[in-house]
Amino acid sequence: MITHPFPPLYDENSRILILGSFPSVKSREQMFFYGHPQNRFWRVTAAVFEKPIPVTIDEKKAFLHGCRIALWDVIASCEISGSSDSSIRNVKPNDLTPILNESPIERIFVNGKTAEKYYNKYIKPEIGREALCLPSTSPANAAWSTEKLIEAWRVIL
């Protein structure tokens, strides 16, 4: 069983909540979201908001706060082999109530089908809010070019 090793990122101005499934090995090593260099999350969101791509964790935090984005993951702990979403077993979901109570979240998005599956199974019944599924920014989602991802992700604006 692996427990999510770092906290959510949000503040009192967060309007958009983007949920991943569970952090990759690289993200767990860096102790921050979307740490794998091939994950396109930072390139895609920077393009959507027409901002420079943040590089350091401090730049990424400032970017998210500036764009009023909260980031968290659906899964609090699970069994997982490496970073493979398809290997996820024995899921315990995260509690979103602190974020939803402290931030005026207007829309919830999930980054990919795995996040959507576990959101709909565990979290939606608890909070009663829909989440829009966006195509995954993971390098495993090779069917989507960065350009196509940017176009699809514009809905977060």
39 catalytically annotated: yes
Torsion of CA 53, 156, 100, 130, to 10 degrees: -140
CA dist., res. 152 & res. 131, Å (int): 15
Residues 6+ positions from 81 with CB-CB distance below 8 Å: 87
CB neighbourhood size of 98 (10 A): 13
Gyration radius of the chain over CA positions:
14
Encode burial over 56-92: b for 16+ CB neighbours within 10 A, e otherwise. eeeebbebbeebbbbbbbbbeebebeebebeebeebe
CA dist., res. 105 & res. 108, Å (int): 7
User: What residues does 73 pair with on adjacent strands?
Assistant: 20
Catalytic residue among 39, 90, 101, 120, which?
39
Query: Which residues are the active-site residues?
Result: 39
